Amino acid sequence: MTDLKDRILAGVSKDLSEIESAVSQNLNPHLELVSRVARHILFSGGKRLRPLLMILSARLCGYENRDAFSFSALFEYLHAATLLHDDLVDGADLRRGKQAAHHIWGNPTVVLVGDFLLARSLSLAARTGRPEIIRTIAGITEAMSQGEIQQLRLKGDPTITEADYMDIIRRKTAVLFEGACRSGALLAGLSDTQVSALGQYGADLGHAFQMADDLLDYTADTRVLGKAVGADLREGKLTLPLIYALAAADDAEKRFIRHLISSPALSLEAFRDLVKILHKRGGIAYTEHLAARYVQSAKEALGGFPPSPTRALLMDIADYALARKM
Amino acid sequence: MTDLKDRILAGVSKDLSEIESAVSQNLNPHLELVSRVARHILFSGGKRLRPLLMILSARLCGYENRDAFSFSALFEYLHAATLLHDDLVDGADLRRGKQAAHHIWGNPTVVLVGDFLLARSLSLAARTGRPEIIRTIAGITEAMSQGEIQQLRLKGDPTITEADYMDIIRRKTAVLFEGACRSGALLAGLSDTQVSALGQYGADLGHAFQMADDLLDYTADTRVLGKAVGADLREGKLTLPLIYALAAADDAEKRFIRHLISSPALSLEAFRDLVKILHKRGGIAYTEHLAARYVQSAKEALGGFPPSPTRALLMDIADYALARKM
């Protein structure tokens, strides 16, 4: 596991430092306040996974041009915009161990800085002058807002199904991963087949990544995670481990889970009991199993590309999506 | 005055009904809830001025194609997105005589539906496949969010200057008018000179329009306006009539105005006294005068186009920006 992480980091460290400066240099706000709020979320230890996927996808397709880094920043801006708006929508307290932006600057400013970041990412897309790329980026934004709305609509609703969940994570997470990988291939001017293959890799990886995230909310350490475990449940977000376990639970367990869903406070003890039920009723194992299938599918999507260090890195990243501890 | 309005309405009634169906048909949301919230703001008696300016600009440049109407809808979506987010940011109660959306559906939903409308407008822009148009639209969104942030930052700050005010209204209003007119010319594939001339017309009109709006907040009837007069001051938005009058006021008046700015409630009596001071100290007259100069400049920007019914309509619209009562 640590080997895997070290191997990935060694393979991408130069790219990550280029991405880091691109994220800093392309923000270009008119107002100091915008810069301060945007940087709070942009430089809080994000993994830069989305820009990185775009860079590696472009490289896999033979595209190696410095302008790719400026372009890649837009995926981090898009991600940051949705984090700002979502934390506000969810009433989240912490983000990556830091106070959520809306607690510091208030909702109005955070709404508007999120809008700025959305707009900035679309400006960067427009700068490519490539309509398919621009359409991809605009489509991502549409999908993400609708995924978040659907999640909000089903907040605390114990009748949520696995299909609802899959639909939500596709829109709110997988579409952005897919778009980052597709854009890399499009930038390289590759054929539809290769664009689709990389898009498939991204979409599968995005699904696996979100499922792993939702697992971590039940299984990780608060200290490692940078936010409180159990936060999803407290915010009314019912994810696959719980959805699956609830369906398989006996009557007493069902009552207990439904009670937790509807009560605003969640004690550590109740949370631990819940996690036991999620294990016992297969919610954890099922989610791990499904995520592993998505990882497998992501790797298979790269099968048409000849072996290369970049392809190996993308394979490692797929494995790491599930193996990571934060 | 009524002649002017009637003449404009007669000239654009067919266009307005095409725009109306384009606004309805291009929304295309995945979720019922998105549609409901978006329609609440989209079909609440908006004047469709921004799509109309785009259509008329394209026509002035000889472009007459039905796809222009679908495209024009994006300017209404962009406008609606900012209205949703701004009403939330301002804590506004009413919009066009109806309850503000965030009071009905809550802040989270309204933030996300605003995001959807932003994204939708950028998707429509991307559909043109024309990078300059897409860059224009992305640039509008960036400018608007920053204008709103600057307005928010200067909320209730009596040291706001005329230059601050002009900068805010340029970003939050004029840039969208300018972009609508520019996009019409770009769609027609016209030369830079003509694109710039129409852009200038739009920018000047946008300034005049916003100043007229800010005047109406002091001079109109609540019933006619569809929102309470004095709303700007209650929300801490200090506009040119007040900024100018405050600078020209004597000490007692200054104290009175500063007191009103800092007090949350505003009685009808105090508001009437304030309006008297704005008249006495020239705030109303100065704003009218400046707006009239922008109207004049907007009309002059069309001087390079040969006379035509469309040019006459655009001239009438410029005059109406200032003459309107709501």
Asked whether the beta carbons of residue A115 and residue B145 sit closer than 8 angstroms, the reply is yes
Q: Which residues of A124-136 are buried (b: 16+ CB within 10 A; e: fewer)?
A: bbbbbebbebbbb
CA distance B233 to chain A (A): 18
End-to-end, the C-alpha distance of chain A in Å comes to: 13
Summarize the confidence of residues B66-83 as an average pLDDT. 94
pLDDT at B223 > cutoff 70 = no
> What would the pLDDT profile of A87-139 be if each residue is shown by its tens digit?
888 777 777 778 888 888 888 888 889 999 998 998 899 888 888 898 899 89
B129 interaction partners in chain A (CB closer than 8 Å): 131
CB nearest to B134's CB, from A31, A108, A134 = A134
| pLDDT score, position B166 | 97
- Taking contacts as CB-CB distances below 8 angstroms, the residues of chain A near B30 are 146, 150
Q: Residue A135: closest CA among chain B residues belongs to which residue?
A: B126
Can you give the pLDDT at residue B105? 86
Contact B207, B170 (CB under 8 A): yes
Using the predicted structure, report yes or no on whether residue B126 has a pLDDT greater than 70. Answer: yes
Looking at residue A240, its pLDDT comes to 98
In order of A12, A180, A293, A301, the CA distances from A49 in angstroms are 11, 10, 20, 19
**Best of B88, B127, B149 to disrupt the A interface by mutation (most A CBs within 10 Å)?**
B149
pLDDT at B33: 85
Per the document, the length of chain B is: 326
ipTM of this complex prediction, to 2 decimal places: 0.86
CB contact under 8 A, B30 and A141: no
The CATH number, out of the four listed (1.10.150.530, 1.10.600.10, 3.40.1280.10, 2.30.40.10), of the domain defined by the range B2-323? 1.10.600.10
Closest partner CB to A142 (pick from B123, B137, B153): B123
The stretches in chain A having pLDDT less than 70 are: 1, 222-229, 325-326
pLDDT of residue A92: 75
Tell if the CB–CB gap between B108 and A89 is shorter than 8 Å: yes
Give chain A positions within 8 Å (CB) of B36: none
Alpha helices in B128-250 (DSSP H): 131-153, 162-169, 175-187, 192-219, 222-225, 231-234, 240-248
What does the pLDDT read at residue A228? 66
Q: Look at residue B225 and tell me whether its pLDDT is greater than 60.
A: no
pLDDT at A63: 93
Q: Residue A117's closest chain B neighbor by CA?
A: B142
- E strand segments, chain A: 94-95, 98-99
**CA B186 from centre of chain:** 21
B224 versus A41: the higher-pLDDT residue is: A41
Confidence of residue B89 (pLDDT cuts 50, 70, 90): confident
Q: What is the pLDDT of residue B162?
A: 97
The answer to whether A142 contacts B108, with C-beta atoms less than 8 Å apart, is no
pLDDT-wise least confident of A246-250, B26-30, B40-44, B75-79? B26-30
pLDDT of residue B11: 94
Mean pLDDT of chain B: 91
Nearest by CB: B89 against A108, A131, A148 = A108
pLDDT of residue B227: 59
Mean pLDDT of B239-264: 94
Instruction: Please state, in angstroms and rounded to a whole number, the distance separating the CA atoms of residues A290 and A298.
Output: 12
Rounded mean pLDDT of B223-229?
60
φ/ψ of B76, rounded to 5, equals -75, -40
d(CA B325, CA B1): 10
Residue of A nearest to B88 (CA): A108
Mutate to test the interface with A, among B122, B150, B183 (most CBs of A within 10 A): B122
**Count of A–B CB contacts within 8 Å?**
147
Phi, psi of A60 (to 5 degrees): -60, -30
**Average pLDDT over every residue of B143-156:** 90
* B271-304: pLDDT as tens digits: 999 999 999 999 999 999 999 999 999 999 999 9
pLDDT at residue B298, rounded to an integer: 98
Query: Smallest Cβ distance to B149: which of A34, A107, A126?
Result: A34
Contact B122 A141 (CB under 8 A): yes
Closest CB to B116: pick one of A88, A116, A145: A145
CB contact under 8 A, B138 and A148: no
Domain ranges of chain A: 2-323
Q: Which residues pair with B99 in a beta bridge?
A: B94
Q: What percent of chain B has pLDDT over 90?
A: 63
Indicate whether B17 pLDDT > 90: yes
